[in-house]
């Protein structure tokens, strides 16, 4: 009898521990998911304040403004339906160019400006990140424009 109660305690302890670990695991997983949005998908109400997610689009021609004495940069990305202002502090990747597709991780500010923490551009001159390509697909004109602007740089 005593042995049996002990075993029940033992098994229930392990079960509780395992479910606790599983719960923590799922929570960590959920907390670290980064969602992707294109500029026209962004709405102010979707995510809570200071929520980190990723946006992607084509860097608008002539939009890049570099500061003369700090590492601040400002530029605009577009999916040819909606534009989004980006500010970033730091060194841009080698392949960052106007007319190139980029993916950016960061937060959306109250002022509608996206504060970037990381800017990714691909190491291939003809490359367009798949996410960006997808969000451009529903707009054939936009896709043509993009491929043209990429040809100029090739």
Q: Residue 135 CB, nearest distance to another protein (Å)? A: 9
For residue 40, the tally of other CB atoms under 10 A from its CB is: 17
Nearer to another protein, 98 or 111 (CB): 98
Rounded to an integer, what distance in angstroms lies between the CA atom of residue 134 and that of residue 111? Answer: 27
For residue 6, the tally of other CB atoms under 10 A from its CB is: 10
Q: Residue 43 CB, nearest distance to another protein (Å)? A: 15
Nearer to another protein, 109 or 130 (CB): 130
Rounded to an integer, what distance in angstroms lies between the CA atom of residue 13 and that of residue 137? Answer: 53
Nearer to another protein, 7 or 66 (CB): 66
Per this entry, what is the length of the chain?
Answer: 154
Return residues touching another protein (CB under 8 A).
25, 28-29, 31-36, 54, 66, 68-71, 90-92, 94-95, 103, 122-125, 129-131, 134, 153-154
Q: Which of 71, 81, 93 is nearest to 143 (CA)?
A: 81
Nearer to another protein, 134 or 148 (CB): 134
Nearer to another protein, 95 or 113 (CB): 95
Q: Residue 16 CB, nearest distance to another protein (Å)? A: 18
CB 53, CB 35: distance < 8 Å: yes
Residue 61 CA, distance from chain mean position: 21
Q: Residue 97 CB, nearest distance to another protein (Å)? A: 9
Look at the block and give the residue holding tokens 């798949």. Answer: 130
Q: Residue 94 CB, nearest distance to another protein (Å)? A: 4
CB 146, CB 128: distance < 8 Å: yes
């Amino acid at each position: 009898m005593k042995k049996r109660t002990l075993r029940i305690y033992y098994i229930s302890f392990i079960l509780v521990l395992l479910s606790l670990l599983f719960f923590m695991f799922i929570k960590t997983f959920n907390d670290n998911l980064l969602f992707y949005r294109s500029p026209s998908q962004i709405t102010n109400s979707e995510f809570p304040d200071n929520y980190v997610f990723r946006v992607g689009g084509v860097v608008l021609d002539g939009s890049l403004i570099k500061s003369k004495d700090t590492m601040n940069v400002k530029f605009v990305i577009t999916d040819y339906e909606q534009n989004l202002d980006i500010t970033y502090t730091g060194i841009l990747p080698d392949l960052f160019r106007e007319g190139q597709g980029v993916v950016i991780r960061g937060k959306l500010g109250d002022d509608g400006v996206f504060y970037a923490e990381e800017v990714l551009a691909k190491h291939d001159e003809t490359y367009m990140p798949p996410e960006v390509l997808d969000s451009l697909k529903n707009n054939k004109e936009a896709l043509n424009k993009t491929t043209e602007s990429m040809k100029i740089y090739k």
